[in-house]
Amino acid sequence: MRILEFERVSYQYASEDFDIVDQLSFSVESGAFHCVIGISGCGKSTIFRMTNGLLQPKCGTIRVGGIPITQQKNYCGYMPQRDLLFPWRTIGENLALPLEIRGGFSGKEKTELVEEALADVGLAGCRDKMPQELSGGMRQRAAFARTMLTGSDLLLLDEPFSALDFLTRISMQEWLLEQWRRHKKTILFITHDVEEAVFLSSSVLVVEKTPIRSLREIPVPMGKTRTRQDLANPEIVALREGLVDMLRKQVGG
């Protein structure tokens, strides 16, 4: 089943004289994990912001679960690249926000879910801190936990692990794969780290050109249960280098 569909979607920033996304069509199968890669400024976050409804396409239709997004609310969880947390709310209050939006949780349930989500990302004990008291990587993990609490089947994660140190990053990657398998989510995940893209994806979506007219889908031949050792497999190494070459070509124009 297709969970997300773009049908001839275009977008133009008011200050630009061209469509950065130009008649783009693609679809995502339910349960897929796609990393989206492409050079800086190519329009990856723009695609996420349209999917989330923050930007309105100039033309075309975006559907989630077969229904145009203009006719629904709360259909996806979105972790933006910047401006992650509300500075006037504690970490706990930030995480409780999606639960407040969903409604139907008692105060006790909210507290329990928030504490569980914080513990999951290694932030147990940070509930009463303010965002500005945390490091960049800790804030990123808190924002990530908040996105998971939306409970949405479709998650859009814009460079969620970019501020993390190497070891935290790889353990968060393993944790996310486990969540994906266990909760059967559909995940779109923007990253600049090609190895991360290969490790996480069922297939990688490559933005080869701006304006974006298509996404090139590169399947990753690894099962859902995978380990970092699989990255050393010659077939996977070749795939990774092929992706690096595609990005290099884009930089070269």
Ligand X SMILES: Nc1ncnc2c1ncn2[C@@H]1O[C@H](COP(=O)(O)OP(=O)(O)OP(=O)(O)O)[C@@H](O)[C@H]1O
Query: Using CB under 5 A as the criterion, which residues of the chain lie in contact with Mg ion when the complex forms?
Result: 45, 81
What's the rounded Cα separation, in Å, for the pair 136 and 138?
Answer: 5
What's the rounded Cα separation, in Å, for the pair 199 and 26?
Answer: 22
Place of tokens 């939006």: 101
Q: For ligand X, which is the closer residue by CB, 91 or 190?
A: 190
What's the rounded Cα separation, in Å, for the pair 89 and 92?
Answer: 8
Query: Looking at 61, 81, 111, 162, which residue binds ligand X (CB under 6 A)?
Result: 81
Q: Is 157 in the site for ligand X (CB under 6 A)?
A: no
Q: Is 221 in the site for ligand X (CB under 6 A)?
A: no
Query: Looking at 3, 24, 32, 43, which residue binds ligand X (CB under 6 A)?
Result: 43
Q: For ligand X, which is the closer residue by CB, 43 or 160?
A: 43
Q: For ligand X, which is the closer residue by CB, 45 or 147?
A: 45
Largest CA distance in the chain: 55
Residue 168, class by beta-carbon neighbours within 10 Å (0-12 exposed, 13-18 middle, 19+ buried)? middle
Distance from the first to the final alpha carbon of the chain: 36
Query: Looking at 15, 71, 225, 229, which residue binds ligand X (CB under 6 A)?
Result: 15
Residue 164 touches which of Mg ion, ligand X, none (Cβ within 5-8 Å per kind): none
- Given the rule CB under 6 A, which residues bind ligand X? 13, 15-16, 20, 38, 40-46, 81
